[in-house]
Structure 1
Amino acid sequence: MPLPPFVNDPHPLLPTIDRTYKAEEINAFGKDRGPAFYETCHLYAQSLWQIGFPAKCILLLNRALSSPMPGTEPLFQRLPLPYQAMAWLLIHRPADQFIGNPRRHWQHLATRMVEPNKELRAWRAWACWYLAKEILPEADFPADLEQLREEGVVEPTQGDIADHLQDLSPADDLAQWQAALAWADEQTGQGRRPPLQVRVRRIAEDELPVVQRLGREIWRQYYPGIISNEQIEYMLSVWYQPDAMAREMRSRGTWFALIEVAAHGPVGYLSFERYPEGVLFINKLYVQAAMHGHGVGAAALRWTQERAVELGCQSVQLRVNKRNVTAIRAYQRAGFRFAEDVCSDIGSGFVMDDYRMEKRL
């Protein structure tokens, strides 16, 4: 059968084809997931890529990853596990061709996997999800927050995925996945973000102007698109005046702290108070955008939880805007779980539409 007109140049990490591949050729393998199945998945994926179906190409590479072949399989020398092929496709996705939302696709695939080889295939899907998370802009390819909330799904860390690939893989998943991550970082110019030396320090009233300055900077950079500019300015004017914060310290025993990074100085701040029922409630926790991904927020949360234990609290709670997906994921990774929806009137026609999240200590 002649090839249809090509839309895309060949995918450089998939095998060359000389004809059109069809679904029937994959279906003919039945339950067989051996070398011939694995190779045919790659050939069919190339066919789909070249005729302009990148989303379907991803589905075929997923099917290749359903093969439990051992690392001794000679075919892997010619066709390694397709993590880098996935990364190449995500980076070179054509703007005019349907790719769906790979990040959400792999989230669903990982959490709804069925047998055979369920656990291995689920963690291979999480590995692909992580590639999508690192490569694709979150604004265009968001997570399925509703599933995260309703099903209690916690997105895994890079370390979680590495540990499971190491334990479950019969092949060289971990090495291939890490190589794909490094390659993608080089291609996109992102690079791995190293952890920084973080100090969290309780402050007195005389340093509250530093909190005010950081609050104005962080909110005006971070919150547009989550809440309106008018609400941003209103909340800054009400909650970030030094005299208002000082009254919180005096009347409610609120702690304020600066989050500092070596060679950078103050890069964020937090505040919390202890409720009589043994709850430490975090009112504020914000870090400059340039510090995201360096473990700064996680270090501040650990410090806060240590203070909660010292103060005899049984849990830590906070509120987070329902549209603040980045923060919600960070809190989930830190062990916080959804407790309830809370919508509060804060005056001047504005509301806070939040999730209350809690971590038991």
Structure 2
Amino acid sequence: MEASKVCLLRGRLRNGGGAALSVGMPMPFVNEPHPLLPPIDRVYRAEEINAFGKDRGPAFYETCHLYAQSLWQIGFPAKCILLLNRALSSPMPGSEPVLAKWPLPYQAMAWLLLHRPEGQFIGNPRRHWQHLATRMVEPNKEVRAWRAWACWYLAKEILPEAEFPGDLEQIREEGVVEPTYADIVQQLTRLSPADDLGQWQLALSWSHQQLGRAEKPSLAMRVRRIAEDELRVVQRLGHEIWRKYYPGIISEGQIDYMLTVWYQPDAMAREMQMRGAWFALIEVEARGPVGYLSFERYPENVLFINKLYVQPEVHGLGVGAAALAWTEARARELGCHSVQLRVNKRNAPAIRAYQRAGFRFVEDVCSDIGSGYVMDDFRMEKRL
């Protein structure tokens, strides 16, 4: 957990986040009280938490909340997060009166992320909770790790990924697979000694309301192999999706170049004729085509996905996962032993989706594609 604390606190101002509070030191409150933490009339100190030793009972839990409020009000939101983490280390079974007063602090965490003050160091909570979940130690290691993943999920939903990215290096080197909503529901249900699932889902729903996000609908969809006469639909979708999604990942010039070279119907038709490539449209009921894919079979009994793209508006709705499942079924029919693909190293959402589908990193691949542009990718594979 030391690496997690370093991640959260790195870069704090010398006069502030790193200084211990001395008895009698005047510390003005710079933030209005956190509405989901207990009110205070003084600044709390680290010694008041340390005095509990290994005791993680109700008094420890409430003091964590009091100290967290203190740290918030004096302008240390990153340290406030650390104290709420410590509150979540309590194994109380849920019947304690303090939990009725101050529920498990998932919504308190969400409120803090949504109201992060300009100019006050908060670190990278998303990366912090990734590290905390994957490097947790005893006691109560498993439930504490999944509480950290639950907080990570809140950060993922609330904070912009471009500003608060995950630790892709750890994901790759240690084979970390970021959990889905369903994973967290399952594990909190299995492990929680208190009302983790209810409080976390409440915080998540409240956060979505604050951000103006509607609940995700379920979609009826299909994947359909196409012939050459429908390649113009792929061309249209390619231009729409790439211009919405890829700015910030690759340059505008490279986007234009790759669309010009690879998305001409005659060029795609040659892939079908000369390499036996399949093309398919991903269609959603009442919306029509929302994406496309293509793949080919290599002699080594490998099915290689050349293209798999869906409109950003349907990301997170299971469309890409269903398209992968359809492709894996075709791979088995064609006698392939594995499915491979390449993904841009900066395309974190796609990497996450492929990992969840069972793909693992194989190697780095950097290819010159002409006109001064390169594809800097990970090659990933799923064994069937």
TM-score, scaled relative to structure 1? 0.99
Residue 16 of structure 1 aligns with which residue? 39
How far is the alpha carbon of 1:28 from its aligned partner?
Answer: 0.8
Residue 219 of structure 1 aligns with which residue? 242
Match 2:251 to one of 189, 213, 228:
228
1:127 aligns to 2:150 (yes or no): yes
1:70 aligns to 2:89 (yes or no): no
TM alignment of 1:48-87, pairs within 5 A: 48-87=71-110
Asked if 2 retains the 8 angstrom alpha-carbon contact of 1:200 and 1:259, the reply is yes
Residue 111 of structure 1 aligns with which residue? 134
CA distance in 1, matches of 2:279, 2:140: 50
Residue 302 of structure 1 aligns with which residue? 325
How far is the alpha carbon of 1:193 from its aligned partner?
Answer: 1.3
How far is the alpha carbon of 1:190 from its aligned partner?
Answer: 1.2
How far is the alpha carbon of 1:187 from its aligned partner?
Answer: 1.0
1:192 aligns to 2:224 (yes or no): no
1:240 aligns to 2:263 (yes or no): yes
Match 2:356 to one of 333, 352, 361:
333
AA in 1 matched with 2:64: C
CA distance in 2, matches of 1:156, 1:39: 30
Residue 33 of structure 1 aligns with which residue? 56
CA distance in 1, matches of 2:286, 2:217: 14
AA in 2 matched with 1:232: I
Residue 162 of structure 1 aligns with which residue? 185
How far is the alpha carbon of 1:192 from its aligned partner?
Answer: 2.5
CA distance in 1, matches of 2:221, 2:29: 53
AA in 1 matched with 2:179: P
Runs of 4+ aligned residues of structure 1 deviating over 2 Å after TM superposition are 1-4
CA distance in 2, matches of 1:311, 1:192: 38
Residue 18 of structure 2 aligns with which residue? none
CA distance in 2, matches of 1:111, 1:275: 37
- Secondary structure in 1 matching 2:273: helix
AA in 2 matched with 1:71: G
Give unpaired runs (5+ residues) of structure 1: none
AA in 1 matched with 2:318: G
How far is the alpha carbon of 1:278 from its aligned partner?
Answer: 0.9
- Secondary structure in 2 matching 1:211: helix
- Secondary structure in 2 matching 1:89: helix
State, as a whole percentage, how many aligned pairs show the same letter.
Answer: 81
CA displacement, residues 79-127 of structure 1 (integer Å, 9 cap, x when unaligned): 1100000000000111111100100000000000011111010000000
Residue 89 of structure 1 aligns with which residue? 112
AA in 2 matched with 1:58: I
AA in 1 matched with 2:364: D
Give unpaired runs (5+ residues) of structure 2: 1-23
How far is the alpha carbon of 1:304 from its aligned partner?
Answer: 0.5
Residue 286 of structure 1 aligns with which residue? 309
- Secondary structure in 1 matching 2:29: coil
CA distance in 2, matches of 1:222, 1:185: 22
CA displacement, residues 54-82 of structure 1 (integer Å, 9 cap, x when unaligned): 00000000000000011111211111100
How far is the alpha carbon of 1:151 from its aligned partner?
Answer: 0.6
Match 1:145 to one of 168, 172, 176:
168
How far is the alpha carbon of 1:332 from its aligned partner?
Answer: 0.6
- Secondary structure in 2 matching 1:80: coil
Residue 19 of structure 2 aligns with which residue? none
Match 1:182 to one of 190, 205, 212:
205
Residue 6 of structure 1 aligns with which residue? 29
CA displacement, residues 124-170 of structure 1 (integer Å, 9 cap, x when unaligned): 00000000000111111111111111110000001101111111111
Asked if 2 retains the 8 angstrom alpha-carbon contact of 1:318 and 1:358, the reply is yes
- Secondary structure in 2 matching 1:67: coil
How far is the alpha carbon of 1:3 from its aligned partner?
Answer: 5.9
CA displacement, residues 170-210 of structure 1 (integer Å, 9 cap, x when unaligned): 11101110111111111111133123111100000000000
AA in 2 matched with 1:356: R
Tell which deviates more after alignment, 185-194 or 47-56.
185-194
TM-score, scaled relative to structure 2? 0.93
- Compute the RMSD of aligned alpha carbons: 0.9
Asked if 2 retains the 8 angstrom alpha-carbon contact of 1:3 and 1:19, the reply is no
